[in-house]
């Protein structure tokens, strides 16, 4: 099995934006400790992606996405290269506002041959970013679908 990092992103006090963190919490409960699998609640610290990628062969990322035009709770799964292809390479990027997709772009440049080839991104459509700690029911259900998919994937490869 490839050494795997699962990273959940989001702000847990902005309602549905915290779905990536929710997925990590649920995986900790349902998977427990699995050899070769590291779970990271990244919160809003995209810059940390650069450092957490090192030493892993496979990365699974979960985050909320807004303004897709799709119904909240819609789940997207795509390889990271599709996300990276849309990134504008800005050498003046302000590190405190760095998004995880930009962090992947920089990680590719910094890690060179150590950059993992296998990166999958799960994005969940949201529209509620109110200042509250609870997820909406539809986004929580989508987060639970991601947990089930990842759990099945991890347990199949252990």
Q: For the segment 32-83, what is each residue's pLDDT rounded down to a tens digit?
A: 889 999 999 988 887 777 778 888 999 999 999 988 889 999 999 988 777 7
Q: What is the pLDDT of residue 105?
A: 79
Number of H helices, E strands in the chain: 5, 5
Contact 147, 81 (CB under 8 A): no
How many independent structural domains does the chain possess? 1
Contact 65, 76 (CB under 8 A): yes
Whether the pLDDT of residue 86 is over 70: the answer is no
Q: How far lies 29's CA from each of 15, 26, 55, in Å?
A: 21, 5, 24
CATH at residue 83: 3.40.50.1450
Averaged pLDDT for residues 90-114: 73
Side-chain half-sphere exposure of 96, counting CA atoms within 13 A: 0
Q: What is the pLDDT of residue 134?
A: 95
Contact 19, 10 (CB under 8 A): yes
Q: What is the pLDDT of residue 106?
A: 77
What's the predicted TM-score (pTM) here? 0.88
Structural domain range at position 125: 4-156
- Give the pLDDT band (50/70/90) at residue 95: low
């Amino acid at each position: 099995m490839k050494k795997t990092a699962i990273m959940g992103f989001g702000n847990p006090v902005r309602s549905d934006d915290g779905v990536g963190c929710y997925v990590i919490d649920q995986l900790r409960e349902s998977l427990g400790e699995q050899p070769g699998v590291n779970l990271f609640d990244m919160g809003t610290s995209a810059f940390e992606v650069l450092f957490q990628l090192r030493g892993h062969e496979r990365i699974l990322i979960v985050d909320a996405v807004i303004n897709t035009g799709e119904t909240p709770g819609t789940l997207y799964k795509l390889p990271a290269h599709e996300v990276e292809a849309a990134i504008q390479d800005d050498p003046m990027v302000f590190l405190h506002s760095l998004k995880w997709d930009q962090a992947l772009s920089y990680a590719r440049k910094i890690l060179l041959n150590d950059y993992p080839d296998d990166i999958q991104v799960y994005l969940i459509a949201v529209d509620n970013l109110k200042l509250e700690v609870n997820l909406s029911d539809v986004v929580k259900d989508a987060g639970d679908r991601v947990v089930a998919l990842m759990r099945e994937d991890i347990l199949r490869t252990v």
